[in-house]
C-alpha cells in the first residue's frame, strides 16, 4: 500500500494567480475548475473563482488550491507572520509547504523563481542538516521551506 499527501492551499480570490505562479516555478500541468464550471451562474459574483485547482509535475510535485467562497481578497492585516528572532523561526502560520530536492542546483532553481516578490525568512544556504536550506513567504502569503535531501545519521 502506498499513500500520497498533497498540500491544499486556501485563498481569498487569488488561487488562479497562485497556481499559475507555482507552475512557473515548478513546471507541470495546471488544472483549474471554477464555481461557474460546476453550475454557479456565470454572472454571479465569484463564479470565476477556483473551486478546484492543482499543479502537478511528472516528478512528484503537487499542490492543490481553491478560493474560499464568499471571502474577499485578504488584507495585509489578515496575513500571517513568519520571521527569525535570535536564530529561531517565529510563526503564527498553521503550516509550511516543504519542497526537498536531490541537489543544490535543482533547489536553487526553485528558490530563484519562488523568491520573486517574497519575504525571505531564512536565505537559502548550507545548514547543519543540509547542503541547502531556506525559508520564505511568497507574495500569496504561503510560507515555503526548500532544502536539499541529505543523509541523516542518528549518531
Find all residues with CB under 8 Å of 28, minimum gap 6, and list them. Answer: 55, 56, 57, 58, 61
Res 146: pLDDT: 93
Identical fold between 7-67 and 82-148: yes
Res 68: pLDDT: 87
Task: Evaluate whether 127 touches 78 at the Cβ level (below 8 Å).
Answer: no
Q: Give me 21's grid cell.
A: 505562479
Mean pLDDT of the chain: 86
Could you give the CA distance from residue 118 to residue 100 in angstroms, rounded to a whole number?
Answer: 19
Res 153: pLDDT: 53
Res 72: pLDDT: 55
> Following DSSP, what letter does each residue of 87-137 receive, concatenated?
TEEEE--S--EEEEESSHHHHHHHHHHHTTT-EEEEEEE--SS-S-EEEEE
Q: Give me 66's grid cell.
A: 481553491
State the fold for domain 82-148.
Answer: 3.30.720
Mean pLDDT of 6-21: 93
Task: Evaluate whether 63 touches 54 at the Cβ level (below 8 Å).
Answer: yes
Whole-model pTM?
Answer: 0.76
> Tens digits of per-residue pLDDT, 102-122?
999 999 999 999 999 999 999
Res 78: pLDDT: 47
Mean pLDDT of 88-97: 74
Mean pLDDT of 17-37: 95
Mean pLDDT of 15-27: 97
> Tens digits of per-residue pLDDT, 28-76?
999 999 989 988 899 999 999 999 999 999 999 999 999 988 765 544 4
Res 129: pLDDT: 84
Asked whether the predicted pLDDT for residue 131 surpasses 70, the reply is: yes
Q: Where are the domains of the chain?
A: 7-67, 82-148
Please state which CATH number belongs to domain 7-67: 3.30.720
Amino acid at each position: 500500500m502506498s499513500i500520497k499527501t498533497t498540500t491544499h492551499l486556501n485563498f481569498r480570490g487569488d488561487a488562479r494567480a497562485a497556481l499559475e505562479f507555482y507552475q512557473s516555478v515548478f513546471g507541470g500541468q495546471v488544472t483549474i475548475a471554477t464555481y461557474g464550471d460546476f453550475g454557479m451562474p456565470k454572472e454571479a459574483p465569484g463564479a470565476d473563482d477556483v473551486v478546484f485547482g492543482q499543479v502537478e509535475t511528472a516528478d512528484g510535485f503537487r499542490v492543490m488550491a481553491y478560493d474560499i467562497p464568499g471571502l474577499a481578497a485578504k488584507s495585509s492585516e489578515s496575513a500571517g507572520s513568519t520571521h527569525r528572532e535570535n536564530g529561531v523561526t517565529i510563526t503564527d502560520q498553521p503550516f509550511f509547504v516543504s519542497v526537498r530536492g536531490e541537489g543544490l542546483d535543482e533547489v536553487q532553481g526553485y528558490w530563484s523563481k519562488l523568491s520573486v516578490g517574497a519575504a525571505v525568512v531564512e536565505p537559502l544556504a548550507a545548514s547543519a542538516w543540509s547542503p541547502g536550506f531556506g525559508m520564505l513567504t511568497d507574495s500569496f502569503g504561503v510560507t515555503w521551506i526548500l532544502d536539499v535531501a541529505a543523509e541523516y545519521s542518528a549518531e
